[in-house]
Chains A and B, each alone.
Chain A
Amino acid sequence: MNSAPGIAFQILQSVFVVLAAPLLTGWVNQCRAWLQNRSAPSILLPYFTLAKLFHKDAVFARDASPIFRWTPYILFGCMWLAAGIVPVLATGLPFAPAADIIALVGVFALARMFSALAAMDIGTSFGGLGARREMLIGFLAEPAMLMTLFTAAFISGSTQLTTIVDTLGHREFALYPSLAFAAVAFLMVLLAENARIPIDNPTTHLELTMVHEALILEYSARHLALIEWAVAIKLFAYMTIGIALFAPWGIAEAGDWSALPYAFAALAGKLALAGAGLALIETLLAKLRLFLAPEFLSTAFLLAVLGMLTHFLVQG
């Protein structure tokens, strides 16, 4: 599928994800505000924030090395690449064979490594602390994530996301207990990886609890904007991976223009539901102590392993 329509679809999807990601963040924030009985900010607020940050002058710490300078671009690039690989709007994109699910997890790990390096680069105590916490969460979340993806890969017999979506999307209806386990595990990993509430509070600046905010404390202006944007794309990518694995109905085939409006509508509906669900989870749960994070993530790992074992036992 390296023909012109395939490439057109690829470009369309990549641009769409980058442009739509802040909207999803805005929607989650809006839902959260409603649920917490606050008056909600505009759904477009993330765009205004990005525009504001891009117009400011960047400031660097005196001792900043090139790693600190490059990291925002690397982060943004990694997330954009991930957004191009995940089948968001269509399957069979020309980018898709470039990386399977294992490489995808690797792309996320690369981004995490650079953000931790950049945080330590400045030499502030917050940066080091945030980097250490981020790596702790990351190294526990990664095996759980891989196990979750393996369960889906076993069912469809391939580690290519696009093949998995094709297999799962076009089968006759069947209940898969293994996928139910995997879905719960994936949800837990999503919360941990995207600095969401049981693990990290995305809105806090309290030094005792912040993880993700501590990493990016020294960034300003366009660099901060790029990082915030990358974070939004990451959330979008994770949600679309979840949708691709557990609710893949309605996705289009690359090059099939007539299915595109339906694919857009299905994606928008599913993302709206997922965003509202995320806001609900964040409202209902309290933040865990950092030392309980290993327990949370080992539960996720356990569920993922159980899912895989159940697949072998009941063949489904």
Chain B
Amino acid sequence: MPLLAQLVNVLAAFLLLLAFAMLSQRRVLTLIKLLAWQGAALALSTGIVAWSTGQDHLYISAGLTMMLKVLLIPWLLHRLIDRLFIRWDVETLINIPTTMLIGIGLVIFAFALAAPISQMASTLTRSTLGIAMASILLSFLMMIVRRKAVPQVIGFLAMENGLFFAATSATYGMPLVVELGVALDVLVGTLIFGIFFFHIREQFDSLDIRHMETLKQD
């Protein structure tokens, strides 16, 4: 295996590790840091794939990832939690060891699912498809087990990271137009979520989304 492919594999493993770290993290501030790290790993691996395959448009998406997911969105989230005064608490629905065990189950499922696809593919990064799918599922799990709105949004963004990585590893990235569109969507989504948080809190004095269920009763 060439060294660059090995490097991509290591970064993929790092991505998976970060997904688990997010799953087990109790503090919002650390969650945002982990999200930024995930973005950095993603940008680096996209850059490596671009360099080793000569696909020039991947450089642009790597740069875009760097700008948006490592700098801009974490900064936005940072400002948001400062204004909302929620630097600390994250409540989970299930306790953390159990969540991790479910996570292992998801990883096995994703790997089993990806194995036949990887065998047919011929790209340099085919073996990382399973990891990409696993991190998508793990981010999804995080959105399910978190009770507060901000960690759920972070889970959503992490899921987008996983999708992006899946696209890079399966087909050397989507067409540039699509990627630009997705990047813009994510940015706009984050902004809208930010406004949404304030509204939720104004309405219920809390960011706990369980309160939204009471809407049905009146």
Contact = CB atoms under 8 A, between A and B. Distances in A.
Partners in one complex: yes
Interface of A: 174-175, 177-178, 180-181, 294-295, 298-299, 302-303, 305-306, 309-310, 312-316
7 contacts: A180-B13, A298-B101, A299-B24, A306-B107, A309-B111, A314-B127, A316-B6
A174 B1 contact: yes
A315 B118 CA distance: 12
Nearest to B127: A314
A85 to B, nearest CB: 30
A312 to B, nearest CB: 7
A295 B95 CA distance: 10
Contact of A177 (B3, B10, B104, B115): B10
A175 B24 contact: no
Interface in B64-108: 96-97, 100-101, 103-104, 107-108
A76 B11 CA distance: 43
Contacts of A302: 20, 100-101, 103-104
Interface of B: 1, 3, 6-7, 9-10, 12-14, 16-17, 20, 24, 96-97, 100-101, 103-104, 107-108, 111, 114-115, 118, 127-128, 130-131
A178 B17 CA distance: 11
A119 B184 CA distance: 64
B130 A313 contact: yes
A294 B97 contact: yes
Contact of A315 (B10, B24, B127): B127
Q: Is the interface of B mostly helix, strand, loop or mixed?
A: helix
A306 B128 CA distance: 14
B9 A177 contact: yes
Nearest to B131: A313
Given A177-B9, A177-B12, A298-B97, A312 B111 contact: yes
B4 to A, nearest CB: 10
Closest A-B pairs by Cβ, 9 of them: A177-B13, A175-B6, A314-B127, A298-B97, A314-B9, A177-B10, A313-B130, A302-B100, A175-B10
Nearest to B13: A177
Nearest to A292: B96
Nearest to A140: B97
A175 B12 CA distance: 12
A3 B17 CA distance: 47
Given A174-B1, A177-B9, A180-B10, A306 B20 contact: yes
Contacts of B127: 313-315
B13 A310 contact: yes
Nearest to A184: B17
Contacts of A303: 17
Contacts of A295: 24, 96-97
A183 to B, nearest CB: 12
Contacts of B1: 174, 315-316
A305 B100 CA distance: 11
Nearest to A297: B97
Contacts of A313: 111, 114-115, 118, 127, 130-131
A315 B126 CA distance: 12
A174 B100 CA distance: 29
Given A314-B128, A316-B1, A305 B104 contact: yes
A175 B11 CA distance: 11
A292 to B, nearest CB: 10
Contacts of B97: 294-295, 298
A298 B9 contact: no
Nearest to A315: B127
Nearest to B7: A175
Contacts of B103: 302
A310 B101 CA distance: 16
A309 B107 contact: yes
A308 to B, nearest CB: 10
A306 B108 contact: no
A181 B104 contact: no
Contact of A316 (B9, B107, B111, B128): B9
Contacts of A305: 104
A310 B103 CA distance: 14
Contacts of A309: 107-108, 111
A303 to B, nearest CB: 8
Given A313-B131, A314-B128, A316-B6, 14 more contacts: A180-B10, A181-B17, A298-B100, A298-B101, A302-B20, A302-B101, A306-B13, A306-B17, A306-B107, A310-B13, A310-B16, A310-B131, A313-B114, A315-B127
B146 to A, nearest CB: 17
Contacts of A306: 13, 16-17, 20, 104, 107
Contacts of B16: 306, 310
Given A298-B100, A306-B20, A181 B111 contact: no
Nearest to A173: B3
